[in-house]
Amino acid sequence: MSAPAHHRLHFLDRDHSILAFNERVLDWARRADVPLLERLRYLCIVSSNLDEFFEVRMAPHLAARKANEQRGPVTAETHDRVSAKVHALVAQQYAIYNDEVLPLLEKKGIKLVNHGERNPRQRRWVKEFFVREVQPLLMPVGLDPAHPFPQVANKSLNFIVRLTGKDAFGRENEIAIVKVPRILPRFFRMPPIKGSKQTHFVSISSLIRSHLADLFPGRQVTEFSQFRVTRHSDLAVDEEEVKNLRTALRKGLQQRHYGEALRLEVSAGTSEYLANFLLAQFALPEAALYRVPGPVNLVRLNQLIDQVDAPALRFEGYKAGWPLQLTPGQSYFDRLQRGDVLIHQPYESFDAVLAFLREAVEDPDVLAIKQTIYRTGAKSELMNLLREAVRRGKEVTAVVELKARFDEEANINYAEHLESVGAQVVYGVVGLKTHAKMLLVTRRENGSLRRYAHLSTGNYNPGTARLYTDLSYLTADDALTADLDQIFLHLASQNRLPRLNKVVMAPFHLHRAMLEKVEAAGTAAKAGQSARIVLKMNALTDEPLARALAHASQAGVSIDLIVRGACILPAQVPGVTENVRIRSVIGRLLEHSRVCYFQVNGQEDLWLSSADWMNRNMLRRVELAWPVTDPVLRQRVIDECLNAYLNDTRDAWLLQPDGHYVRAAGLGAGKTRAALHSAQASLMARYGSKATD
């Protein structure tokens, strides 16, 4: 029998959920208790997130709008609804920038000086700087039949100019385009004013707009605007048809900057004539036009933040402690023979993971190192260590994911460098992204071979490891390391994967295993047994898993979900998900760990994973989940990654049945934000203090 109409499950819209996540991030830019430069940085983060949203998610909506028809789940109306939500978010963003952050920065002695505010000395400096450093790099293009509209790269800064008068050949071509080279910094520090403590900056857009007339001698600039276009940037390569994936991706990368236009940003005061001209040029509807009262690319304000020397306007520095389970200088191999090690990053230092690999590289008894590479960051020490391992005669196998979004070029370069020194480089399985994070070391001990491994919920990237919360797991468990050996063999040879001992792997087992665990909890609850599920992840968008959770809720399972970003499952809908509570924690650090806890009739089962509960992770990627069986480590994960976040009252938001989020705890009379509980702040205090003990 089907559920009554008012009890049926209706999923939340994924795109609106992504935008709601950005609203929660934007809240940090509003908060008076957040240091001022960090508030500005959160504005930059939202802009960067919106860029990626358009680059990856918006193309189907725009196609439906242009065709005025339904294209799968999207229609012209979905484009307009999503666009309206983005417009509202952008309006809030620039209001915070102009009305709150900039005036407060000026009070602190940091000012972006526009042309009208510059004194004569500053104007002379700007003029000289423009002539010397900027003008030689600009090439204005007047449009005519021989000079069509130039190719404008994705997210690049440009100016459109309307002119009167005639050009050198007597023609009245009135439109010109000025492309601003990416090589030019977006903000410049101006010379100090004698007797003033203020630090003054000028933006590249303000600098150029003040001297546009100098680029068109003999003609008059009547209108102008900065503009920026965002293009579709998700690489699509038919892996079944290409003979060399690396070569095909390199060709695709060359075209990424010139994909389909999806969004046009212009200055707020741009004339209808210029705005319509650009919309027509990029074949965009009116809803795709964003008039912004400020820089068209707030992301680049990171450059200004980095130039300001004002520690009081930043978060207090945090030094990660050395992992509690490890002793500096002690052999990892000796330590792991006594039991598994858990590292909670970034509260505990990622340097310990690099130290594990470094010891493996330097140990003459280590014979082989195998590792997956998804995102490792620029100038990666990890890649240097792998090359050194090859130089020392060890067998090195690297499974490099070439299709890691926006890191494709870096990974192609890493693959080529590793191959050039003799490492065995493979690219995983055709049609699947290798998203699993694993490192396997094989060592000769007492005449036989023993394996040691590192597994992680996050990437091998020292930069993001200081900002993302993740769990690293070091082990010498024979069954677990044997599984990893079989997985590496499978990825390299593409032979059939044998039955694994402990690990569950996508796309083969993980989806089914998680469904079975949810369903088992529901069965237990129906039988009157205690049943609880607590999950922590970045996104929940897989419909079968979301539906299974709803069914478990209806059976009486108590369910708590900690989902940072997109979530399609509504919370606490009577008769549907009334036993499901969903919260999102947005803090100083980016929540990134994936933890799955199931309790059935008193028996606890806890898994760590590289996978979010998304269809792509479960069915189109190589992902891993592994159990934490050590009771002490299991309880530590429960305490630090689940209970601490379920009790967060400062940085947590609660999902409502209609898809809106509200704060987990309001600020009542006499209560300040500092008095509320923050899981991240508590963990930073606990582990950071260890570093100075």
pLDDT tens track for 474-524: 999 999 999 999 999 998 888 888 999 999 999 999 999 999 999 999 999
Cα Rg for the chain, rounded, in angstroms?
28
CA distance 633 to 607: 11
Q: How many residues does the chain have?
A: 693
In the block, residue with structure tokens 């930043």? 314
Q: pLDDT digit string (tens) for 315-372?
A: 999 999 999 999 998 999 999 999 999 999 999 999 999 999 999 999 999 999 999 9
Helix (H), strand (E), coil (C) string for 107-131: HCCEEECCHHHCCHHHHHHHHHHHH
Handedness of CA 302, 304, 305, 309 (dihedral sign): positive
- φ/ψ region of 483 (left if φ > 0, alpha if ψ in -120 to 50, else beta) reads alpha
CA distance 42 to 29: 5
How many other CB atoms sit within 10 Å of the CB of residue 252? 15
Annotated catalytic residues are 435
pLDDT at 7: 65
Q: Helix, strand, or coil here: 586?
A: coil
Q: pLDDT digit string (tens) for 657-691?
A: 999 999 997 644 445 666 789 999 999 999 985 33
- Beta-bridge partners for 654: 583, 662
Handedness of CA 407, 413, 417, 418 (dihedral sign): positive
- Beta-bridge partners for 445: 448
- Determine contact, residues 204/188, Cβ cutoff 8 Å: yes
**Start-to-end Cα distance in the chain:** 63
Q: Please give the average per-residue pLDDT across 46-52, as a whole number.
A: 94
Handedness of CA 673, 677, 681, 682 (dihedral sign): positive
Whether the ω angle into residue 346 lies within 30 degrees of 0, i.e. cis, is: yes
pLDDT at 195: 73
CA atoms lying within 13 Å on the CB side of residue 579: 19
Residue 214's pLDDT band, with cuts at 50, 70 and 90, is: very high
Question: So where are the chain's domains?
Answer: 14-313, 332-499, 506-692
Q: Helix, strand, or coil here: 352?
A: helix
Residue 544 has pLDDT above 90, yes or no: yes
pLDDT at 414: 72
pLDDT at 168: 65
Please provide residue 222's backbone torsions phi and psi, each rounded to the nearest 5 degrees.
Answer: -100, -30
CA distance 461 to 401: 14
Residue 248 has pLDDT above 50, yes or no: no
pLDDT at 5: 43
pLDDT at 244: 47
Q: How far is CA 6 from the centre of its chain?
A: 37
Q: pLDDT digit string (tens) for 612-665?
A: 999 999 999 999 999 999 999 999 999 999 999 999 999 999 999 999 999 997
Domain spanning 506-692 has what CATH number? Answer: 3.30.870.10
Spatial CB neighbours of 253, under 8 Å, sequence gap ≥ 6: 235, 408, 409
155: nearest Cα among 303, 297, 301: 297
Beta strands 504-506 and 531-537 are unpaired
684: its two tokens? 């930073």
How many other CB atoms sit within 10 Å of the CB of residue 237? 15
Residue 411's pLDDT band, with cuts at 50, 70 and 90, is: low
The answer as to CATH 3.30.870.10 being correct for domain 332-499 is yes
Handedness of CA 69, 75, 80, 86 (dihedral sign): negative
Handedness of CA 672, 676, 681, 687 (dihedral sign): positive
Residue 3's pLDDT band, with cuts at 50, 70 and 90, is: low
664: nearest Cα among 674, 675, 677: 677
What does DSSP assign to residue 9? Answer: -
Residue 236 has pLDDT above 70, yes or no: no
In angstroms, what CA-CA distances link 478 with 369, 471, 488, 500? 16, 21, 15, 12
Q: Helix, strand, or coil here: 531?
A: strand
Q: Helix, strand, or coil here: 309?
A: coil
Handedness of CA 113, 118, 121, 123 (dihedral sign): positive
Q: Please give the average per-residue pLDDT across 138-143, as a whole number.
A: 90
How many other CB atoms sit within 10 Å of the CB of residue 601? 12
Q: Please give the average per-residue pLDDT across 404-420, as a whole number.
A: 66
CA distance 392 to 368: 11
pLDDT at 312: 95
Q: pLDDT digit string (tens) for 142-185?
A: 887 667 888 899 999 999 999 987 776 666 678 999 999 999 99
- Beta-bridge partners for 597: 534, 606
Residue 266 has pLDDT above 50, yes or no: yes
Q: Please give the average per-residue pLDDT across 444-466, as a whole number.
A: 92
DSSP string computed for 163-191: EES--TTS----EEEEEPPTTS-SEEEPP
484: nearest Cα among 436, 443, 546, 531: 436
CA distance 476 to 452: 5
CA distance 160 to 180: 11
- Determine contact, residues 72/60, Cβ cutoff 8 Å: yes
CATH (one of 3.30.70.20, 3.30.1840.10, 3.30.110.30, 3.90.180.10) for 14-313: 3.30.1840.10
Rounded to the nearest 10 degrees, the angle between the axes of helix 36-57 and helix 59-67 is: 50
- Determine contact, residues 187/307, Cβ cutoff 8 Å: yes
Q: How far is CA 573 from the centre of its chain?
A: 30
Rounded to the nearest 10 degrees, the angle between the axes of helix 381-391 and helix 351-362 is: 10
CA distance 157 to 180: 6
Rounded to the nearest 10 degrees, the angle between the axes of helix 76-96 and helix 14-30 is: 10
CATH topology match: 14-313 vs 332-499: no
Q: pLDDT digit string (tens) for 496-506?
A: 889 999 999 99
Residue 110's pLDDT band, with cuts at 50, 70 and 90, is: very high
Residue 241 has pLDDT above 50, yes or no: no
The mean pLDDT of the chain is 89
User: Which of 354-368, 397-411, 419-433, 541-555 shows the lowest per-residue confidence on average (mean pLDDT)?
Assistant: 397-411
CA distance 4 to 640: 40
The alpha carbon torsion through 141, 144, 150, 155 (nearest 10 deg) reads: 80
CA distance 229 to 260: 10
Q: Helix, strand, or coil here: 338?
A: coil
Handedness of CA 578, 579, 584, 590 (dihedral sign): negative
Residue 408's pLDDT band, with cuts at 50, 70 and 90, is: low
Q: Helix, strand, or coil here: 144?
A: strand
CA distance 273 to 586: 42
92: its two tokens? 């809030």
CA distance 484 to 472: 15
Q: pLDDT digit string (tens) for 423-451?
A: 888 876 767 888 899 999 999 999 999 99
